[in-house]
Amino acid sequence: MAAPDGPLVVGVDSSTQSTKVLVVDSATGQVVARGQARHVVTAEHDSDPEQWWQALVEAVEACGPAAREAAAVAVAGQQHGLVTLGADGRPVRNALLWNDTRSAPQRDRLLAELGGPAAWAERTGSVPAASFTVTKWAWLAENEPEAAAATRAVRLPHDYLTGRLTGQGVTGGTTDRGDASGSGWWSSATEGYDAEILAHVGLDEALLPRVVASGEPAGTVAAGLPLPEGILVAGGTGDNMAGALGLGLEPGRPVLSLGTSGTVYAVSQRRPTDATGVVAGFADARRGWLPLACTLNCTLAVDRFAALLGLGREEVESGGSAVVLPFLDGERTPDLPYATGLVHGLTHATSGGQLLQAAYDGAVFALLQALDLVLGDDAATSSDEPILLIGGGARGVAWRETVRRLSGRAVRVPQAEELVALGAAAQAAGLLTGRDPAAVARDWDTTAGPSYPAVERDGAALDRLAATLSDADALLRRR
């Protein structure tokens, strides 16, 4: 390995299905080593946190000597997951993951009992969806009271891994404001845990981790790990917040991420409080805000349609009147936790390729509906900014062209890979150097990549989708 220009840092992305690790030159952003290991997710959308830890260790070891020369590390993790630890620091049960919607009845009850959507939005920044951690804890307390009673610490996925790195155990855990803002029990109005919400769901604040400030370390690496003992561990954050760091986002720059979930977000200087629930009013990993809309059904749902049709991902055809609302796992945006997939407008002339294109359209439609709400007051001034298209789907021509056609906006596809892990690395570099991690990422030029000009917006397709969604509303809400 050639000598780096600056100290090496490690960024970790612990996602739904795998853990990815990058070792990065903090001065240039060059990735000098990488590793990856997979997790197993059950059909019930839960996962053993111990797997995440073993995958992190395996992925770090795959980075070889570079990891053993690192000076700082940060972990980014999938948001909203509920990790419950017993007195021995081990998981009481499998973690409930973000895409688990079994807590929809508890979500409905919490909304009604604590003032309704507007009150929740003003209090926490978001109207909680069935994916939020607070609804999962309410489900656990109601359905598995023995597990809830045995719990001595409650963590988000990135908190759990950061605690394992630092050896903090159940009493010394940390989190950050970005990931905490997706829990449903952290108040964006006060920037602290909400005592009334916690009391209402029967959760003692002492079980929750301390929220570290931006630029504050969570601790140092414990002994016996495949990283240098004593190096700095940054606070870490949620995966979406890390993605924003990895892109070095400034206000008004829209991002559309196409992965297992689909997200659209932008950095803002104003605290979001969307009472409709379309936009989650998250904090970012610094001192600002990250209004975000998320769909549960994105690349996996479209891949499922391709498999059912016996087609490859790119075998789409234009034309036709078919409409697909691919809500195969319920949906978060729009808020339809009980929905199933819907196909409408088939004729004898509909081809398989047209139906597959309709699935792409349906997946992108919900995200673009939320774009102006996410941008808020920045929408008009940012209209000429290209959408930054990231995630696994961003490399697909069909995904890219669908976004261009339905948005009518230019698109840029950053060449930088593993932006969540890269954002975690930027956070570690910022901690090491005392700099703003987003500025570090901008110096790394992480948004460089091919740009595609705007095309005429496909109003007819958008009108068909909007009309079908409206007409089918009662059906999609049926339990």
Reference 239, options 295, 188, 182; nearest CA is 182
- Whether residue 416 contacts residue 395, with contact meaning beta carbons closer than 8 Å, is answered with no
Active site residue 239: yes
One-character DSSP codes across 27-89: TT--EEEEEEEE----TTSEE-HHHHHHHHHHHHHHTGGGGGG-SEEEEEE-SS-BEEE-TTS
Using DSSP's 3-state secondary structure scheme, residue 150 falls into: helix
Q: What is the DSSP letter of 136?
A: H
Adjacent-strand bridge partners of 155: 83
Reference 77, options 265, 250, 251, 236; nearest CA is 236
What tokens appear for 28 in the block? Answer: 């240039």
CA 234 to chain centre: 19
Question: In the 3-class helix/strand/coil scheme, how is 398-444 assigned residue by residue?
Answer: HHHHHHHHHHCCCEECCCCCCHHHHHHHHHHHHHHHCCCHHHHHHHC
Spatial separation of the C-alpha atoms in residues 244 and 235, rounded to whole Å: 15
- Whether residue 227 contacts residue 70, with contact meaning beta carbons closer than 8 Å, is answered with yes
Adjacent-strand bridge partners of 193: 186
Q: Left if phi > 0, otherwise alpha if psi is -120 to 50, otherwise beta: which for 140?
A: alpha
Cα angle for residues 240, 246, 247 (degrees, 5° grid): 95
Spatial separation of the C-alpha atoms in residues 75 and 165, rounded to whole Å: 9
Q: Left if phi > 0, otherwise alpha if psi is -120 to 50, otherwise beta: which for 376?
A: left
Tokens 């690395």 sit at which residue?
425
Reference 11, options 65, 49, 78, 56; nearest CA is 56
- Whether residue 103 contacts residue 135, with contact meaning beta carbons closer than 8 Å, is answered with yes
Alpha-carbon torsion, ordered 45, 144, 161, 425, to 10 deg:
50
What tokens appear for 20 in the block? Answer: 């990815």
Catalytic member of 179, 194, 239, 284: 239
* Residue type, position 243, single letter: G
Positions marked catalytic = 239
